[in-house]
A and B are shown apart, each in its own frame.
Chain A
Amino acid sequence: MIKNKVDLLNKYEIDKVRMLNRSGEVLTGKKEVLVCAGTGCMSSKSIKLIENLESAIKDHGLDIEVHGTGCFGFCEKGPIVKVMPDDTFYSEVKLDDALKIVESHLVNGEVYRKKLYVNPLTKKQVETTNEIPFYNKQVRIALSNCGFINAESIDEYIGTTGYQGLAVALEMEPQAVIDVIKESGLRGRGGGGFPTGLKWQFAANNKVETKYILCNADEGDPGAFMDRSILEGDPHSIVEAMIIGAYAIGASHGYVYVRAEYPTAVQRLQIAIEKARELGLLGKNILDSGFDYDMEIRLGAGAFVCGEETALIASIEGERGMPRTKPPFPANKGLWDAPTIINNVETYAVIPEIMKRGSDWFNKIGTPKSSGTKVFALGGKVKNTGLIEVPMGITLREIIYDIGGGMDKGRKFKAVLTGGPSGGCLTEAHLDEPVDFDRLKELGSMMGSGGMIVLDDKNCMVDIAKFYMDFMVEESCGKCTPCREGTIQMWNILNNITSGKAKLKDLDLLKSLAITTLNTSLCGLGQTAPNPVLSTLDYFKDEYLNHIEHNKCDASVCKDLINKYVITDKCTGCTICARNCPTKCIKGERKEMHVINNEDCILCGDCFARCPFDAIKTR
């Protein structure tokens, strides 16, 4: 049991040695192996990899521990294995590599070179994490423990100064805690960017007995997975931050609303809550402060709209997840009509650090109006996909070209999507713009929860707008007419455009529908649903016009505008298309020009997407 701050610091003294050794700050001579047990790597069999490593270590009679950690971020190169404290970074480790890593590195002390990461720029192998460009420009606060500690171990969390932010907070007056958050400039990471401290103030000003604190982990943006990775990699940071928040506003109970699609995150968070309770960090009289607080998990059930705070509240109450009119805002009248604070996972994840290091420290990172860092799920057509954390104000170019390693397969950059289905696209002209809440909004996109999808010249912008609208049609809850009907009608027009049935005047109709839906919808879902349409219309109007006037999709994505695929004389006879064609309708000898038998072709476009020489054209 940890009854007070002295107990906590005593426990920290015991646990910290192991963690300092792991980070290389204090060397005890003990090696450890860390394996990514995040979602991405688990789907590449990293759990079995851990077993293989453990049994190989046992066979060699070594006393070395293997830990499954949260996401390292570099999902593209997974599964990732690190040997600490050497910080040796092995990537794309297969099950049979386990034995070789153990024999070479752990028994003989020689780095197993075959699985080292190769820097694509220098073509040289690098040994340690620090030498990898993907990590160089990152500043990790929310993700600092992800890929470093075993998420299921509260000892490891405490060993990295865990729960000390709580200890700091409990020694202050609740108002002083709110002031620290206010001064830090922290803004909500869920997408809106509302100042967190101010939100807390509203709830604190309500002098009633029952209040609630909620965590929004209903990560809906398809293409974003930072909340999931934080819950899987560092669940205690959320528990700690929610206790701090509850103390600040005077709540005694909290709920974390997590997507049911995230079973691993749910399981690890559940373990974290139970262990915290066992040690007395949840429950009565936390750290001898006289403050009582406890929390539990509630599962979502697959409704995007539940990421909207009032819909989330309705869902916890056992209702259909439909938004309510605001005001009253949840800070005044939320869950079961009590004042309620809802913050996003990533927002909570930085709060313990702010309490420990102070608001000035946080404020100095990022830009004046958007302090701190932001986690992005970098995906799409860049070389290095994965989870990154960067200071606010970094340019898109740095993210895409330095961290992301540039465009995959040497293709041409076309656009980057931020903010998911609620956001928009940014073009080449915006690559040197700083990424922060306000600037992205000015440019017609938004920060959103942090999905960042890079597109190349083989992606059609009209098709992307239709893809997002399709998502919104399905996810609109149906409560208010503008969103329910507006999204469907916008989808119809977009579908007409991509199938060659639209007229030029439809573009005006589309724009006016988009603006009406934006202005008149009840909640954030409908108010932002037209964004992808409006921003693609702004920046890629030519593509819309080409579809309508010339029945031509520049990226050759829209199937109805394609009659057939043909192979041109750029073909080198590399055979990639023929080998992968699902109907085997491409014939040709090696190093000779190939031919498509159009009768058997199902127009799947696989050959077109795959051809490294741009030899395949559409007619």
Chain B
Amino acid sequence: MIKLKITLEQIESLDKRMEKHSEKPGPLMPTLHDAQKIIGCIPNEIQELISNKLKVPIAKINGVVTFYAQFSLVPKGKNVVGVCLGTACYVKGAQAILDKVGSTLKIKSGETSEDGEFTLEATRCIGACGLAPVMSINEEVYGKLNVSKTIEALKEHEGVTLND
């Protein structure tokens, strides 16, 4: 598990964003997006903070946070590997790619490796269907993959070290 450190700067910057969002109707979703972006996840402490500021019950905030796939309660790994399981990718063998990445990184989809290096996600369509099957490592997208190209992509990616 990765230990989460929240800095004062992060809290202050979230606070400023909340002030701005409060001026408009429906401030909760934009606030949660900011919290996820600034802190990397939305743990209970942050939910409490938002609850006090926006005057929304924490139970409701927790309900919203856990409803949407983009918000997470725990921090993600340093590198986020997303294997697209959209239909176009799936019919071209994306499941085999997901299985291979999982067995290489020794984590299942949705998990983070113990050293906090990787999070593996089975993502829905990322809109690069013409290049199916695709996978993303952090922001970078790799297209027209097959099982062996997947390993190359993992290896060539900067900061990724594989112990297989």
Contact = CB atoms under 8 A, between A and B. Distances in A.
B64 A318 contact: yes
Interface stretch (B4-12, B89-97, B112-120, B154-162): B89-97
Given A40-B128, A301-B33, A604-B99, A380 B88 contact: yes
Nearest to A224: B125
A315 B126 CA distance: 21
A301 B29 contact: yes
A298 B71 CA distance: 15
Contact of A582 (B29, B142, B151): B151
B28 interface: yes
A379 B132 contact: yes
B53 interface: no
A168 B80 CA distance: 48
Contacts of A581: 148
Contacts of B147: 580, 582, 604, 606
Interface string A574-610: 0000011110000000000000000000001110011
Nearest to B71: A301
A228 B29 contact: no
B129 A385 contact: yes
A43 B141 contact: yes
A318 B60 CA distance: 10
Interface string A280-324: 000000000000000000111111100000000001111111000
B85 to A, nearest CB: 7
Contacts of A387: 130
B27 to A, nearest CB: 7
A225 B130 CA distance: 10
Contact of B67 (A220, A224, A321, A453): A321
B131 A582 contact: no
Interface in B97-135: 99-100, 123-132, 134
A421 B90 CA distance: 13
Contacts of B124: 220, 222, 261, 302, 304, 471
A221 B127 CA distance: 10
Contacts of B69: 301-303
Contacts of A526: none
A464 B143 CA distance: 22
**Range, interface on chain A:** 35 or more
Nearest to B150: A582
A502 to B, nearest CB: 20
B96 to A, nearest CB: 5
B148 A582 contact: yes
A44 B30 CA distance: 31
B130 A320 contact: no
A451 interface: yes
Contacts of B63: 320
A39 B84 CA distance: 14
Contacts of A76: 130-131
B66 to A, nearest CB: 9
A318 B100 CA distance: 38
A317 B27 CA distance: 8
Contacts of B129: 40, 75, 223-225, 377, 379, 385
Contacts of A78: 130-131
Contacts of A459: 91
Given A222-B124, A260-B70, A417 B130 contact: no
A225 B146 contact: no
Contacts of B141: 39, 42-43
Instruction: Identify the interface centre among A225, A301, A451, A455: most chain B CB within 10 Å of its CB.
Output: A301
A319 B64 contact: yes
A467 B87 CA distance: 8
A330 to B, nearest CB: 15
A361 interface: no
A386 interface: yes
Interface in B45-92: 56, 63-64, 67-71, 85-88, 90-92
Given A301-B29, A317-B26, A606 B127 contact: no
A321 B130 CA distance: 30
A386 B127 CA distance: 10
B26 A606 contact: no
Most buried by B among A224, A386, A455: A224
A420 interface: yes
Given A43-B142, A582-B100, A228 B127 contact: yes
A148 interface: no
B87 A451 contact: yes
Nearest to B132: A379
Nearest to A232: B127
Nearest to A264: B127
A606 B87 contact: no
A39 B56 CA distance: 37
B68 A301 contact: yes
Nearest to A322: B67
Contact of A320 (B56, B67, B88, B148): B67
A491 interface: no
Contacts of B33: 260, 299, 301
B97 to A, nearest CB: 9
B32 interface: yes
B104 to A, nearest CB: 9
A379 B126 contact: no
A67 interface: no
Contacts of B28: 318
Contacts of A386: 130
Contact of B127 (A225, A299, A304, A417): A225
B76 to A, nearest CB: 14
Most chain B beta-carbon contacts within 10 A, residue among A42, A75, A580, A582: A582
A303 B68 contact: yes
Contacts of B143: 40, 43-44
Interface of A: 39-40, 42-44, 74-76, 78, 219-225, 228-229, 260-262, 298-304, 315-321, 336, 377, 379-381, 385-387, 417, 420-421, 451, 453, 455, 459, 464, 467-468, 471, 477, 579-582, 604-606, 609-610
26 contacts: A75-B129, A75-B130, A78-B130, A219-B125, A222-B87, A223-B86, A261-B124, A261-B126, A300-B70, A301-B29, A302-B69, A317-B26, A318-B29, A377-B88, A377-B129, A380-B87, A380-B88, A385-B88, A385-B129, A386-B130, A453-B88, A453-B91, A468-B87, A580-B148, A582-B100, A605-B93
Given A44-B143, A301-B68, 7 more contacts: A43-B142, A220-B124, A225-B128, A301-B69, A302-B69, A316-B29, A320-B63
